[in-house]
Amino acid sequence: MTLAEKIGQMTQIERVVATPAIIRDLGIEIIEGLQGSPPEEHPNGYPYVGGRQNVVACAKHFVGDGGTEGGVNEHNTLATYYDLF
């Protein structure tokens, strides 16, 4: 099987299996698994990382992707520590 055929096969599987609801639910589970579940009093819409045993999840894209200096593709992203959280 060629690479193009394999990619086509994978794409077909994603189209059949990956509904928006499934992607949303799995994404939430993966992110909470990495970052931890926020406590009830944590405000919605604000990032949460639950301590030293957890890591920041970055779903699909690299941190800073699209925020590069001068908008140059694959260039440096200038961000402060505060910007990352």
Instruction: Write out the two tokens for 47.
Output: 């990032």
- Do the beta carbons of residue 37 and residue 14 sit within 8 Å? no
State which residues form the domain around 30. 3-84
pLDDT at 11: 60
* pLDDT of amino acid 13: 56
Helix (H) or strand (E) holding 34: helix 20-35
- Residue with token string 């925020």: 67
Residue range 14-45, pLDDT digits in tens? 556 667 787 778 778 888 888 898 899 999 88
Instruction: Tell me the average pLDDT of the chain.
Output: 76
Domain count, the chain: 1
Res. 8 pLDDT band, cuts 50 70 90: low
Please give the pLDDT value at position 29: 86
Helix (H) or strand (E) holding 17: helix 3-17
What pTM value is reported for the model? 0.46
